[in-house]
Amino acid sequence: MGRQSKHLYINLPVKHVNESKAFFEQLGFDFQQELTNEHAACFVMNETITVMLLSLKHFQSISEKELVDARNGAEVIISLQVETREEVDELVERAIAAGGSPFKEKQDHDFMYGWSFQDRDGHLWEVFYMDEERSDLS
């Protein structure tokens, strides 16, 4: 029997916590003030996913591994499924307007539609919609 987690926390190293916080606020995410300070900022994506934006120094103290500059290398792509195609475009357009940059062209595979952006620190975010009734996953 496999173990199931009830909540996922994503920890991302960022150069400037306040600037990164402002970026994600412009995307419509709310921050938990009790878990936000000059070293870290915490926002809830949904009821099971929380993102911690950690200063480079704080992240380094936790990981003890060499940090990857996400502008020059990739370690992970964070994928976020939304309810509609329009939400895909809206979120990526808001990310670009807030100082992010597009990563790849829009991908339209009939039942699945997606678009990607890089946040201010170069982390890759993929936003996608999937018509699960038309996919092979149902």
Q: What is the CATH number of the domain that holds 37?
A: 3.10.180.10
Do 57 and 77 belong together in one domain? no
Asked if residue 137 has pLDDT above 60, the reply is no
Distance in angstroms (rounded) separating the CA atoms of residues 59 and 14: 9
In this prediction, residue 1 carries a pLDDT of: 46
Distance in angstroms (rounded) separating the CA atoms of residues 103 and 12: 18
pLDDT, tens digit, 9 for 90 and up, residues 39-90: 999 999 999 999 999 999 999 998 888 888 888 988 889 999 999 999 999 9
Do 124 and 81 belong together in one domain? yes
C-alpha radius of gyration, the chain, whole number: 16
Average pLDDT, the chain: 91
Which residues constitute the domain of residue 100? 73-138
Residue scoring higher pLDDT (63 or 15): 15
pLDDT, tens digit, 9 for 90 and up, residues 109-136: 988 999 999 999 999 999 999 987 775 6
